[in-house]
Amino acid sequence: MREASRISVGRWLTFMLLACVAVAFIAPLVWMVSTSIKPESQAASGAIRLLPDPASGAPSQAAANYSSVWNDRTVKFPLYLRNTLVVALLSVAGMTLSSAIVAFGLSRVRWRGRGVVFALVLTTMMVPFPVIMAPLYLVFKNIDDGMRAAGVLERAPWMQMLGTLKPLWLPAWFGGAFNIFLLRQFFMTIPRELDEAATIDGCSSWRTFWRVILPLSRPALAVVALFHFIYVWNDFVGPLIFLTNRDQFTLALGLQLYQSQAGNTPWNLLMAASTMVVAPLILLFLLAQRTFVQGVASEGLK
């Protein structure tokens, strides 16, 4: 009885701790949405109320706030949403495919020195983006200078790098250390007998990768895609460095521009804009939650 009571008390304490952590994470989100449906006077009053006063005016006030943000003539959120989706989709496609190819070579193909190469890949995880920020900018600048000197940009101006969306998604097609590590660990849990059976059936390594490994790795690939989509969606430093034209801004830059366009910040409109930026990520996670948990918790095929 004592052991059972201790277990129940331990579970209750664990539940309470998890509930407190959940409230700490959810409270700012709830307050952001609450502020976005209030008039400006109530949003700046500091009073702790989840609904505007009167509460019956919440739908009309919310519609007015979100419509004002969406139709703003200076900060073009529909255009920024399109730019963000273009960068996110191209980046996710490139990161998932290139990381899977590298992970396959490091886990399923035997060749001399792959352990050293894998160790070098892991060391790049310790290098933060601010360290490579300036060198990466110089790389794209040198590419532009080289094409300009060769007359390429005169014949094909669409190939210019700086000032366009290309530097935001093109590096993703060369893989990422963390995603390569994640996929490699998943690929190694897939029985090698499947590779041998595919080889007996006449499949090359490339065909085995496409027909055997990738279909069995959908949960892990979904995790990589979701992680990178969230990273690209929230990225602020990259667009700040490479983008100069407002019509090419992403949502992260657009939100900062909206916040700084006026001297006095309208908190209700700013929270409405923030909710619009965050809402697609929350919806995406809710839709892909089962696949995400399966990909993280899975240990491969037994």
| pLDDT given for residue 57 in this prediction | 65
Q: Show me where the domains of the chain are located.
A: 1-71, 74-297
| pLDDT given for residue 219 in this prediction | 86
Q: Is the pLDDT of residue 10 over 70?
A: yes
| pLDDT given for residue 293 in this prediction | 67
Overall average pLDDT of the 164-183 stretch: 93
Q: Is the pLDDT of residue 130 over 60?
A: yes
Q: Is the pLDDT of residue 301 over 50?
A: no
CA angle, residues 95, 232, 181, in degrees to nearest 5 = 40
| pLDDT given for residue 292 in this prediction | 66
pTM for this structure?
0.86
Task: Pick the more confident residue, 286 or 66.
Answer: 66
Task: Pick the more confident residue, 99 or 25.
Answer: 99
Domain covering 74-297 assigned CATH 3.30.450.20 in the classification: no
Q: Is the pLDDT of residue 63 over 70?
A: yes
Task: Report the amino acid identity of residue 249.
Answer: F
Overall average pLDDT of the 49-77 stretch: 81
Q: Is the pLDDT of residue 53 over 80?
A: no
Task: Pick the more confident residue, 130 or 91.
Answer: 91
Q: How would you write the chain as a 3-class SS string?
A: CHHHHHHHHHHHHHHHHHHHHHHHHHHHHHHHHHHHCCCHHHHCCCCCCCCCCCHHHHHHHHHHHHHHHHCCCCCCHHHHHHHHHHHHHHHHHHHHHHHHHHHHHHHCCCCCCHHHHHHHHHHHHHCCHHHHHHHHHHHHHHHHHHHHHCCHHHHCHHHCCCCCCHHHHHHHHHCCHHHHHHHHHHHHCCCCHHHHHHHHCCCCHHHHHHHHHHHHCHHHHHHHHHHHHHHHHHCCHHHHHHCCCHHHCCHHHHHHHHHHCCCCCCHHHHHHHHHHHHHHHHHHHHHCHHHHHHHHHCCCCC
| pLDDT given for residue 4 in this prediction | 55
Work out the mean pLDDT of the chain and round it to a whole number: 85
CA distance 91 to 236: 15
Q: Is the pLDDT of residue 165 over 90?
A: yes
Overall average pLDDT of the 74-99 stretch: 94
* Tens digits of residue pLDDT in 30-41: 888 888 888 877
